[in-house]
Amino acid sequence: MHTQTALPDTLASGPFTLTDAAAEGVPRKRLLRPDVEHISRGLYRPADWDFDLEAAARALSAATPGAWISHVTAARLRSSCLPPWLSDSTELHLSKPRSLPSVRRKGVIGHTLAAAEDEVESVEGIRISTRPRTWLDMARVLPLKDLVCLGDELIRLPRPEFEDRESPFATVEELRALTERHKNLQGIVRAREALELMRVGADSGPETLLRLAMLDAGVPEPQLQLRLREADPLSPSADLGYRHRRVAIQYDGGHHLAPEQQLRDRRRDKAFEAGGWTVLVFDKDDLADGFAKAIRTIKRELSSAWLDPAVASGFSRSMW
């Protein structure tokens, strides 16, 4: 009786290329057995493999020299800020330069694009579009507000104590130069519109969406990461707010439910309140209704602040 030879562990754990199999000494005829599935040209996977986006992208990248992972797939692999309807996407997007034949692979969404050398990089064995280029490519996919969220994430100043970097992923000027380089790219008009709405200081997508909802409602543009004490880098800060109106606005996401974080949040809010500020706190329920109720609350509070002589003396009506 013939005993089936098991695949080497390196091949049994996920998708692999014909070259990978040859390197492991696995003959091509072995890949015809039922425990292996042929995905597309030069690509295989174990029949019992559970889909993993990173593994699929790595194999696809290895099997397609000259191409790179892009669009939604690139954004997902970098855990970028995406709307709920894309946050769990398993789409595989692959881009090629115009000098190569277009992508024709089962289950792969292909793109033929012009990209400069500094717009594509290799990360952990995957050839992938850079974060700025991914933002630009997503301009053809995302609604304007979600594209602004993605852009705000790129230009945000990192916190070295929590992140392994000291510089933003990109600046507005760099993104603007990128749009000028690709004036005819699909989605370029939306990208330019997003640039005008992007601001440094948003720590999350919901913070950006709240700010945009405020602007849409005619509320004056708030300051971001507003410190209680301007000159003190250790001072508590508000996600958004108005110093001269003494109104601090916080968006508390899911991680704020942890007991330790809730304690820090209470201390933060009490510090503002002790300084005579009004603190408005919003959460996922407000995000779910598009911040409609939140906007009414903010407008009401700003009107009250305007009527308070002690507060009104600190700013001019021209701020409206």
Sorted by sequence, the CB contacts under 8 Å of residue 171 that are 6+ apart come out as: 155
- Packed helices 188-197 and 172-181: angle between N→C axes, nearest 10 degrees: 160
CATH code (residue 251): 3.40.960.10
Asked if pLDDT for residue 275 goes beyond 80, the answer is yes
Q: How far apart are CA 104 and CA 81, in angstroms?
A: 29
Is the same domain home to 191 and 63?
yes
Model confidence at 301, in pLDDT bands (50, 70, 90)? very high
Where are any strands of DSSP class E within 156-212?
A: none
- Looking at per-residue pLDDT, the higher value among 317 and 238 belongs to 238
Is the same domain home to 242 and 292?
yes
Is the same domain home to 100 and 10?
no
Is the same domain home to 97 and 40?
no
Is the same domain home to 189 and 221?
no
Give me the chain's average pLDDT, please.
Answer: 90
Overall number of domains in the chain: 3
Q: What's the pTM?
A: 0.86
Is the same domain home to 153 and 231?
no
Decide which of 200, 232, 254 is a domain's last residue.
200
Decide which of 133, 165, 200 is a domain's last residue.
200
Least confident of 28-37, 237-246, 258-267: 258-267
Is the same domain home to 246 and 125?
no
Would you say 212 and 152 are in contact if contact means Cβ atoms under 8 Å apart? Answer: no
Is the same domain home to 81 and 71?
yes
Decide which of 157, 175, 200 is a domain's last residue.
200
Is the same domain home to 63 and 165?
yes
| Structural domain range at position 264 | 202-320
pLDDT for position 1: 41
Is the same domain home to 37 and 98?
no
